[in-house]
Amino acid sequence: MNRNDLKKLAKMKNLDINFGKMTSMNKERWKKYSNILVSNYGNVKDASTLEKLEPIIRYSKYNSPRSYVKTDNGTKYLTWIVYDLFNNIDRKGLEVHHIDEDSLNNRADNLIAVTKSVHHKLHTKPRTHHNEINVTSEDTKKQKRHKKNITNKDTIKQNKKERNENIVEITKQCFQKYGKVNKKTLTLFGVEDNTSPYVYYYKHHLL
């Protein structure tokens, strides 16, 4: 979904969304936030060295990945920083929605502030009315349960794969910056969850 698709959906479903005036995305522009530079394309640089910085990936309680960056004001959610720097609507009391539903796509034109109820509606898929479901036999019920179990297993497997890939990437970055990976260096790097998987990968693959 893009911005125009969302406008059509908002009109069709009568969703109260203030789209405001979109900032130009013709070229990459940079603005300073604390000790970092952030662009309207969602990229980050060190303000002093102009070295490109990779966001820290953490998972929300809904298992979706989110991008964070370390600043002099603490570790901050990149989505909010980009929105506040490049959009002209105050997000106080609102939530920021990723229009294409990719939580790692932090381009300014992919972010929009909406109320909590609208945000919930945008992420809620339409359900089939119970009268339209025609369950004719016990076999059909079993097939549905089997299909659901396979889907759940695939989802869990994919989530584990993505988490493992993030552990590998963060461990490598931490090792490149500090020369070793332990609880102290990982904390300095912004890892606040369980450090064991990172240390395990370091000891068994990087040493």
Percent of the chain clearing pLDDT 90 (strictly above): 37
Contact residues for 143 (Cβ-Cβ < 8 A; gap 6+): none
| Residue 83 near residue 113 (C-beta atoms within 8 A) | yes
Categorize the per-residue pLDDT at 133 as very low, low, confident or very high, splitting at 50, 70 and 90: very low
DSSP letters spanning 25-56? -SS--EEEETTEEEETTS-EEETTT--EEPPE
Task: State residue 194's pLDDT score.
Answer: 87
CA dist 85 to 37, 44, 67, 206, Å?
A: 11, 13, 16, 38
For the chain, give every domain's residue range.
1-126, 136-207
pLDDT of residue 158: 79
Token pair, residue 113, equals: 């502030």
Q: What is the pLDDT of residues 170-181, one digit of tens each?
A: 999 989 888 989
Q: Between 151 and 24, where is the model more confident?
A: 24
CA distance 201 to 173: 12
Q: Rounded to an integer, what distance in angstroms lies between the CA atom of residue 60 and that of residue 43?
A: 21
More confident residue, 165 or 55: 55
Contact 195, 183 (CB under 8 A): yes
Give the amino acid at 101: E
Is the Cβ–Cβ distance between 96 and 112 less than 8 Å? Answer: yes
Q: Which fold has domain 1-126?
A: Homing Intron 3 (I-Ppo) Encoded Endonuclease; Chain A (3.90.75)
